[in-house]
Structure 1
Amino acid sequence: MYKNILESIQHRVSPLPRGPWVMTQKWEHLLFMHLPVPKEVLAQHIPKELEVDTFEGQAWITIIPFMVSDMRLRNLPSIPYLKSYLELNVRTYVRCNGLSGIYFFSLDADKILAILGARLATLPYYYANMTMNEGREDDFHYKSVRKGSTEASFKGSYRPISTYYYPGNDSLSFWLLERYHLWTIKKGVLFRGDIHHKQWKVHDAKAAVEGFYTLIPFLPDSISKEKLLFHYASSQRVLIWRIKKVE
């Protein structure tokens, strides 16, 4: 299985990372909720070492609720307590040293050990009460409320509304989905992580969402949710490399 994933590289615009991957996860029932945002707004909220990436001059933020399953370290069985948990990501698109990737504003999860481990790896994880249930008509109902003195929350339902497809290389969908590098910053030090998976096979999606603006409170009220773009993906097996300091 892993060899087959590693040999599937035709969709990448950068080479596979050096060295062995250290962890694998399966991501399931993902909603990609894309929101166009002015580049100037985002530039104020990312590290100075990064540059806002745009598609035809437009910057984007994406919110992704999904389930993680079968998380395991390389050559080891699944971790029982962490075999399955829910996650909610808020990311934007950046460039650094000629590479395109992502920068996370936040990641919420419902397993405290997963959060503690990810924080040690410099990722901005938060603990949240989360539920995901499958409805009767192939729809998914998702709710997340971050714990602590915050209003950060998300509530929504979503379902695929088209047959699956592979976005074309020059399309906005490909630009939004096919991202294999991430950057984080901790105590003024920039770190980079790398992942790999097969090309995204997605559906157009329909979604009804509430509260997501609380996850990105710096956005001005003028940003319209009428321009949201949705994708749904049923699953993806992902290989993950160790996060390293950028020299």
Structure 2
Amino acid sequence: MATAQRYMPLGVEPDVYAGMTWVGLIGFRVTGTCLGPHLRLPYAGTFTEVNVRLYSRDVAGRRGVVFLSLDADRLAFVLAARTAGLPYVWSRCRPTAMPGTSRGYGYEVERFRGQGNSSFSAYPDMDHRALDGLSLWLTARFGLHTRVGQRVFYLPIAHRPWPLYHAAATAFDDALVCAVGLTVHGPPDSVLYSPGVRTRFGQPLQVRG
């Protein structure tokens, strides 16, 4: 808890499940990004992202995440997002398929300046939905906390519940978590897969410390 607290902005604390807080390594594809209801970004708005996150809760009780790093392969998006206080890193990020199967998924990250290359993959079990309390707690995050200058904001995110499945990690060679200053040991305690949802960002709300 004390380690996670060092990464929290003012007015935000680590969220806990069963007395513990967690660090997440998440990979996904972003597609069809729009500015407003109609302005689609066909190139800059489609990219691969891998992020390292902690789970957060602010003084108003709003649950979210605090991003420690976000690797993406679209420079224009990375530069724009950094102005909003998000720690994006321009990297070679790409999804990978497991050899010999059409149902395995993974990601590779190669940072242009080193210090954090990563690759991981998993095999989802599409016959078993992930409906347990921990899986829902890890993924039902409808906002993020970020610091912009001297102020802290909560950015709400709206989406329907994730279609979520348990998965088995088949490869895990990660340095991204270590690169942000955290130390973890052993294989992941939770591995999940989702085919994705459409997401909408709301107006930022200032967090009062």
Post-superposition, which runs of at least 4 consecutive aligned residues in structure 1 deviate over 4 A?
213-217
Q: Is the 8 A contact 2:115 2:175 kept in 1?
A: no
Distance in 2 of aligned mates of 1:173 and 1:67: 20
User: In 2 relative to 1, CA 114–213 (structure 1 residues): closer, same or farther, beyond 3 Å?
Assistant: closer
Query: Which residue among 68, 71, 76 is the counterpart of 1:113?
Result: 76
Using the TM superposition, give the Cα deviation of residue 225 of structure 1 relative to its aligned residue in structure 2, in angstroms: 2.2
Report the Cα offset of residue 212 of structure 1.
3.4
* Aligned with residue 56 of structure 2, among 94, 99, 102: 94
Alignment of 1:6-155 (within 5 A): 39-96=1-58, 97-135=60-98, 136-137=100-101, 138-148=103-113, 150-155=114-119
- Contact 2:166/2:192 (CA < 8 Å) preserved in 1? yes
Deviations 1:192-230 (A, max 9, x none): 20101111111111122102355554224xx32235210
Contact 2:165 2:194 in 1 (8 A): yes
The match for 1:233 is: 194
Letter in 1 for 2:147: I
State the distance in 2 between where 1:216 and 1:92 align: 14
Q: CA shift at 1:58, angstroms?
A: 0.6
Gaps of at least 5 residues in structure 1 are 1-38
Change (3 A) 1:214 1:98: closer
In 2 relative to 1, CA 246–133 (structure 1 residues): closer, same or farther, beyond 3 Å? same
Q: Larger RCO: Structure 1 or Structure 2 (Cα < 8 Å, ≥ 6 residues apart)?
A: 1
Where structure 2 has 5 or more consecutive residues not aligned to the other structure, the ranges are none
* Equivalent residues, number: 204
TM-score normalised per structure 1: 0.75
- Following the alignment from structure 1 to structure 2, what is the Cα–Cα distance between the partners of residues 99 and 165? 26
How far apart are residue 140 of structure 1 and its match? 2.0
Percent sequence identity is: 26
Distance 1:73 1:101 in 2: 22
